[in-house]
Structure 1
Amino acid sequence: MVYFCPFCGNILFVEENVSGQMQFTCNVCPIYFPVKKTKSHRNYYKLKEIDDVLGGEEAWKNVDSTEERCPKCSHDKAYFLQLQTRSADEPMTTFYRCCNNECKHNWRD
């Protein structure tokens, strides 16, 4: 949780006072608030699968294939799909999917 100074609105920083206790202090105003209770909480969000990012199975229906070796099963052909994932001044990212129906491994270049 983030706390703000009630007078100037700046963010309060945590620092140790002379007696060794932690306190919230403002860098502008001469105020401080002692830390009464320590809270710790983390959220671990589930990352999306690559198929969800690319549009699922529907995105792979009308794509071309090329001579690209699969790193998982060593099949010689792979489908490819190019998307602009970064800013416009950077090159497109090429995503591959193995043509072997038993493998269907996804990777990117």
Structure 2
Amino acid sequence: MVAFCPFCSNLLFVEENTIGRLQFTCNVCPVFFPVKRLITYRNYYKLKEIDDVLGGEEAWKNVDSTEARCPKCSHDKAYFMQIQTRSADEPMTTFYRCCNPECNHNWRD
């Protein structure tokens, strides 16, 4: 597939020629290349986990704990950290992690 003009390196555009077929055409040079097959691409990007966004396991070391009920296991204590996720005039977002080592559930307030 030709995406750029081999002479001037400009991006080639898809146009319909006089007989109704598609072709790649350069807007600068008098160059065209016929489209010989259907060209499609699909990219599926993996979403980041919440721990990756917060800094991973290292970010949860040396944080304080507070009395907060875990929504998953109903444990009464949780670690917490506050991060400014929005603009400066918005309040900070508080992230929690359950103190129960069997649970380790993350949530935010």
- Compute the TM-score of the two structures, normalised by the length of structure 2: 0.65
Q: Name the CA distance, whole Å, in 1 between partners of 2:107 and 2:82.
A: 12
In structure 2, what is the equivalent of residue 98 of structure 1? 98
In structure 2, what is the equivalent of residue 46 of structure 1? 46
Number of residue-to-residue matches in the alignment? 109
In structure 2, what is the equivalent of residue 82 of structure 1? 82
Q: Tell me by how many angstroms 1:36 deviates.
A: 6.8
In structure 1, what is the equivalent of residue 57 of structure 2? 57
The reply on whether 1:108 has 2:108 as its aligned counterpart is yes
Q: Tell me by how many angstroms 1:86 deviates.
A: 1.5
- Structure 1 residues 79 and 22 mapped into 2: Cα distance closer, same or farther (>3 Å)? same
- Compute the TM-score of the two structures, normalised by the length of structure 1: 0.65
Identity, % of aligned positions: 84
Match of 2:79, SS state, is: strand
Q: Name the CA distance, whole Å, in 1 between partners of 2:36 and 2:87.
A: 45
Q: Tell me by how many angstroms 1:41 deviates.
A: 2.0
Q: Which amino acid aligns with 1:92?
A: M
Q: Runs of 5+ in structure 2 lacking a partner?
A: 4-13, 15-20, 24-33
In structure 2, what is the equivalent of residue 8 of structure 1? none
- Structure 1 residues 69 and 41 mapped into 2: Cα distance closer, same or farther (>3 Å)? same
Q: Name the CA distance, whole Å, in 2 between partners of 1:84 and 1:73.
A: 27
Q: Tell me how large the CA RMSD over aligned residues is.
A: 3.3
